[in-house]
A and B are shown apart, each in its own frame.
Chain A
Amino acid sequence: MSGLVAAIEASKTGAKVLLIDKNANAGGQLVKQIHKFFGSRRHYAGIRGYAIGKRLVDDALTNGVEIMLNSSVFSMFGTEMGIIKDGEEARWLRAKKIILCCGASEKAIMFPGWTLPGVMGAGAAQTLINVHRVLPGKRILMIGSGNVGLVVSYQILQAGAEVVAIVEALPKIGGWGVHASKILRCGIPIITSHTIKEALGRRKVESAVIVALDKQNGLSSKTERSLEVDIICLAVGLKPSIELPLMAGCETMFLGSLGGRVPIHDENMETTQEGIYVAGDCAGIEEASTAIESGRLAGTAAAEKLGYLSKESAYDSKEKIRRVLNDLREGPFGIERMKAKKLLNQRAKTLYIHNDRGKTQDA
């Protein structure tokens, strides 16, 4: 999603943009998001995710973005990279600016039985039902009550399976209340201060044992409960996919509130490697609206550096985007991310003191 947005933004200024995606469709996670999005009109609010994806692809093509699908980047040397297309044809490409929007991958928790068939990431279940139209099982246990756990549980219900319960280790629900309320009205219990103890089954998951957590986060064995389920979905967080930024030599920083190790980037989304930008979840786990804005920011900044935008007009558009980003990060769900992003930007500034890029930074 942030990649498409960045491509559109840069392309609008006259820059020549090639969009590379390893999947059969551009748009990242949008392809499987069948729920209506939140946000403002600027962020396609009220429209279902997959429909936003279609719109963005149309926009990109209209603006002259070249889209190369089924293509993986397998190596990066500065702004040069090796690509393999359709699993067979290798290419070598060089770009003046590269924006990496590699997204995120699902985290997992380990427990006895977690390697049994039937234990999967919530995102995997979502791909199965919404992209491949395959129901992974009949009775599902969801671990994690963040927005991913809540939204995917709802979509599993829509697909026709039962969600037996959502289990959350913290004493409170992680995701937005409206998603939780929707799930509760469907009669699905959200069990807080509980975790999964083990998954049982001979060849695949046949049941799960959940248990309450005491104040020291120990398992209180008296509270064990066995649930008959055939699928256990893990929705325990995402981490930025930083393989390509690492390969390109970008320096990283660990920030728990952004999901883990994140490429250090400045207020233009540029990393410590000049000419390489990051946007979307690979620049720190946030939500859809911020992914859109970070893509816009990276696209605009890259186009400016290439000379397609005057310093003044680029400054105005970037400041506008930054204001929106700040607004999005306000409130109880975003404040920690706002702080973490500020830290990243500061760290980038400190690093630039040691090279000549500091001079070209805004303000």
Chain B
Amino acid sequence: MHRGISLTGSPSIQELEESPGFPSKRRLLKGPIAVIECVQEIPCDVCGLICPYNAIEVSTLKSLPKLIEEKCEGCGACIPLCPGQAIFLVNHNYSREKALISFPYEFTPLPEVNSMVEAVNRLGQVITKGSIVMILDRESFDHTVVISITVPKKLAQQVRGIKLHREE
């Protein structure tokens, strides 16, 4: 189970909720928002520089990124640019039953849009199936593509990726 990032490699819910990059429940329910899962003070400030809405503040190189949730438009520009692949986009209001989760992906071959994939949680465990809605691959992303999948709403804060798509 979750016991903290330095022990398990995955941030615990408590670590996430205590970090300044994690959006409030109230804001999450409103619609697309960046979820920054950066809980260790490492020297990096990339996200603070690239947010087009100035919704991420990194006061010193070592500070944890602070999400200013009223300013975040949920554009997702930060997802492919975070060198730690620690930023996700959660749209809780994608449809009545489904939430949309967007995450970085750096493997080939890419899965197909509209295909069903196995969605994994922060520990890499398959917890549900998801449908790929969109794959964004722009030059400015520099080979980190952004995949968006739909998953049941109740798993919106658990799904953080897909099982690696390998050639048969």
Judge: A and B partners, yes or no: yes
B79 → chain A closest CB, angstroms:
12
A334 → chain B closest CB, angstroms:
8
A223 interface contact, C-beta 8 A: no
The B contact surface, by secondary structure, is loop
Q: Which of A38-46, A69-77, A93-101, A212-220 contacts B (4 or more CB under 8 A)?
A: A38-46
A129 → chain B closest CB, angstroms:
14
Assembly CA distance A48 to B166 (angstroms): 24
B83 engages A38 (CB within 8 Å): yes
Among A48, A180, A181, A186, which residue has the most Cβ atoms of chain B within 10 A? Answer: A181
A192 engages B7 (CB within 8 Å): yes
A176 interface contact, C-beta 8 A: yes
How many residues does chain B have at the interface if contact means C-beta atoms less than 8 Å apart? 42
B6 engages A177 (CB within 8 Å): yes
A residues at B contact (CB < 8 Å): 35-41, 45-48, 51, 145, 157-158, 160, 171-173, 176-188, 190, 192, 289, 327-328, 330-334
Among A36, A192, A332, which residue has the most Cβ atoms of chain B within 10 A? Answer: A36
> Which listed residue, A145, A178, A332, touches B86 by the CB 8 Å rule?
A178
- The verdict on A327 contacting B49 (CB below 8 Å), with A178-B38, A181-B9, A185-B160 known, is no
B residues at A contact (CB < 8 Å): 5-11, 37-46, 49-50, 60-62, 81, 83-86, 106-107, 120, 122-125, 142-144, 160-161, 163-164, 166
Assembly CA distance A330 to B41 (angstroms): 9
Contacts of A40 in B (CB 8 A): 43-45, 61
Assembly CA distance A40 to B61 (angstroms): 7
Assembly CA distance A109 to B6 (angstroms): 23
B83 engages A36 (CB within 8 Å): yes
Contacts of B40 in A (CB 8 A): 176-178, 332
A161 → chain B closest CB, angstroms:
11
B102 → chain A closest CB, angstroms:
14
Assembly CA distance A289 to B43 (angstroms): 9
Assembly CA distance A179 to B37 (angstroms): 12
Assembly CA distance A177 to B6 (angstroms): 6
Contacts of B41 in A (CB 8 A): 331-332
**B7 closest partner in A (C-beta):** A172
> Which listed residue, A145, A178, A192, A332, touches B85 by the CB 8 Å rule?
A178
Q: Can you give 22 A-B contacts (C-beta < 8 A)?
A: A36-B83, A38-B46, A38-B84, A39-B43, A40-B45, A45-B83, A46-B46, A46-B50, A46-B83, A47-B142, A48-B143, A51-B142, A158-B107, A177-B6, A178-B84, A181-B9, A181-B11, A182-B84, A184-B122, A185-B160, A328-B43, A330-B62
A331 engages B42 (CB within 8 Å): yes
